[in-house]
Amino acid sequence: MKRLGGGRKLCMAGSTSGRAFTGFPTRGRFTPVHNVFFTAVMPHISDVAELRVTLHVFWALYQKKGYPRFVTAKELLADAALVQGLGSETGAPAALASALQAAAERGTLLRLHVARDGREEDLYFLNTDADRRAVERIGGGELSLPSSDAPGKSPAALPETRNIFSLYEAHIGMLTPMIAEDLKEAEKLYPADWVEDAFREAVEHNKRSWRYIARILERWSAEGKDNGKPERHTKKTDPDKYFRGKYGHLVKRR
């Protein structure tokens, strides 16, 4: 118990494991969760394992790159933190299977049974418009799947890469759910080297904002990009084209 100003006291209850959580760091990454989950889904979840697995899937999908994004039971079982939360290594597979089944029946997750790399498995997606379209395209043969990860690797075990999220946190600041959604969309639209070069250019010009970086990517997409530098054109550029583009809502007129 800590004493605050004015005689107030702050109570910090110890954890059941005997080790109290020391608090969230000032800087760090965030996993966005749709508000509807808290109002229309979580109140109806009575099983702790289903809640833990569902939240963990949110986190695991957010760590991934590329399209489409999904997780498998094998990936989830490779995460020691989740397995510990489900009880034990021996009981975790059954608890995970039951939780995934409940989440799929509830409609929180989408389950797609496929044959991949010579074996059958279930893929789990979030039940969003984009992922519903992805599932339909996979089922219709319009979208191919990447090969499965090496055994034993989970999102937490994979090496950290300079993705768009780590670049933002390193050069601009803390992620917010709204910015995270814009970054995810940009990651799908632009090559990874473009994104990194755009961040580099923004830092060099001391313009550390996502609006500025989005404008760079918009310009390169419209005018071309060569060796990390935008191509120069002598013809007059339409000054309004960046405001009509994909990220026009992020660019403010001056």
Number of domains in the chain: 2
Looking at residue 228, its pLDDT comes to: 45
The overall average pLDDT reported for the chain is: 79
CATH number, residue 172: 1.10.10.630
Task: Give the whole-angstrom CA distance, residue 49 versus residue 88.
Answer: 12
Instruction: Please measure the distance between the N-terminal and C-terminal CA atoms of the chain and give it in whole angstroms.
Output: 51
Task: Give the whole-angstrom CA distance, residue 243 versus residue 218.
Answer: 10
Is 90 among the domain residues? yes
Looking at residue 124, its pLDDT comes to: 97
For 201-232, how does the pLDDT look when each residue is reduced to its tens digit (9 = 90+)?
A: 888 888 889 999 999 999 998 888 864 444 43
For residue 96, give its domain range: 35-139
Task: Give the whole-angstrom CA distance, residue 65 versus residue 123.
Answer: 16
Region class of 117: left (phi > 0), else alpha (psi between -120 and 50), else beta? left
Looking at residue 16, its pLDDT comes to: 54
* Span 175-179, average pLDDT: 80
* Span 50-64, average pLDDT: 92
CATH number, residue 109: 1.10.10.10
pLDDT band at 1 (very low <50, low <70, confident <90, very high): low
For 103-117, how does the pLDDT look when each residue is reduced to its tens digit (9 = 90+)?
A: 999 999 999 999 887
Q: Is the pLDDT of residue 159 over 50?
A: no
Q: Which residues contact 88 (CB under 8 A, 6 or more apart)?
A: none
Looking at residue 22, its pLDDT comes to: 86
Is 234 among the domain residues? yes
**Regarding predicted confidence, which is higher, 133 or 157?**
133
Angstrom distances, CA of residue 178 to CA of 25, 166, 182, 250: 20, 16, 7, 11
**Regarding predicted confidence, which is higher, 100 or 253?**
100
Same domain, 127 and 168: no
Q: Is the pLDDT of residue 237 over 50?
A: no
- Of 122, 139, 156, the position where a domain reaches its end is 139
Q: Which two tokens stand for residue 247?
A: 């990220």
pTM equals 0.57
- Of 106, 139, 172, the position where a domain reaches its end is 139
Least confident of 37-46, 52-61, 231-240: 231-240
Is 30 among the domain residues? no
Q: What is the DSSP letter of 7?
A: G
Looking at residue 51, its pLDDT comes to: 97
Task: Give the whole-angstrom CA distance, residue 211 versus residue 250.
Answer: 5
Q: Are the C-beta atoms of 143 and 137 separated by less than 8 Å?
A: yes
Sign of torsion over alpha carbons 46, 108, 74, 157:
negative
Is 113 among the domain residues? yes
Is 76 among the domain residues? yes
